[in-house]
Amino acid sequence: MSNLNKIINIEFLKDKDACEEGIKYFKTQIAEPIAARELIEKLLAADDGGKIWWVNWLICRLFTHEQAIACAIFEAEQVLAIFEQEYPDDKRPRAAIEAAKQVALSDTEENKKIAARAADAARAAWAETKATADAAANAAYVAYAAANAAYSAADATYAAAYAADAAAYAAYAAADATYAAYAADDAADAAAYAVAYAAVATAKKEMLLKIINYGIVLLENK
């Protein structure tokens, strides 16, 4: 049975360390125990810019270890090109993704050790690039999270959640290039800011929705 049919209640949220704001929202706006599928639909319908992140949080807490790995790999592949465009000779994030795929195919101790080493390398790539290239750094972090999800069953859902967050922000930062198109005139400059902000906000939301939809498919196909 799909975990989308799992009943979500206050006890579940507290057990999964939901934020106080989320628990308060559930108490006041949902109140009764509800199937995960229905709760996801309600949160997406009510999205005010923040609920979409709650949906991702919930989906990650419904994943099995295998589903968390699959989703983290998917997320990393969405933004790998951002890193490799900036650093074409640095294959550490790609190697982390490939290591995670090997664990997904064969969950052996040796493959998990390889994934752990690849995760460390991708994290190093993130640390080296974060100060100068936000989009590339976020892409490297997603690859790290994917390999880390493969390596550790205990941290798999958390790594998948962080990967989704980083992937969305990588899309956001990549879209930030629109800021380069400023006009000299103050009014045009202000207009450029407005358009650019809309572009990056849209890019971030579109990426997260893409990830959420993939996560729902994974849960459906259990």
Q: Which of 79, 60, 55 has the alpha carbon at shortest distance from 136?
A: 79
Q: Are residues 113 and 51 in the same domain?
A: no
Residues 48, 130: one domain? no
Asked whether residue 14 is domain-assigned, the answer is yes
- Based on the domain organization, do 100 and 154 belong to the same domain? yes
The answer as to whether 34 is a domain residue is yes
Instruction: Verify that 95 and 152 share a domain, yes or no.
Output: yes
> Which neighbouring-strand residues pair with 79?
none
- Of 62, 78, 93, the residue at which a domain comes to its end is 62
Q: pLDDT tens string for the chain (222 positions)?
A: 689 999 999 999 999 889 999 999 999 999 899 999 999 999 999 866 678 889 988 988 888 888 888 888 888 888 888 788 888 999 988 998 899 899 889 988 899 889 888 888 888 888 888 766 677 777 787 787 778 777 776 666 666 666 776 676 666 555 554 433 334 444 554 454 444 445 666 777 888 888 889 999 999 986
How many domains does one find in the chain? 2
pTM: 0.81
Same domain flag for 9 and 47? yes
**What 3-state class would DSSP assign to 220?**
helix
Q: Could you tell me if residue 197 is inside a domain?
A: no
- Tell whether 69 is covered by a domain: yes
The DSSP string of 168-184 is HHHHHHHHGGGGGG--S
Among positive and negative, which fits the CA dihedral 22, 24, 29, 33? Answer: positive
Domain, as residue range, for 26: 3-62
76 and 122 part of one domain:
yes
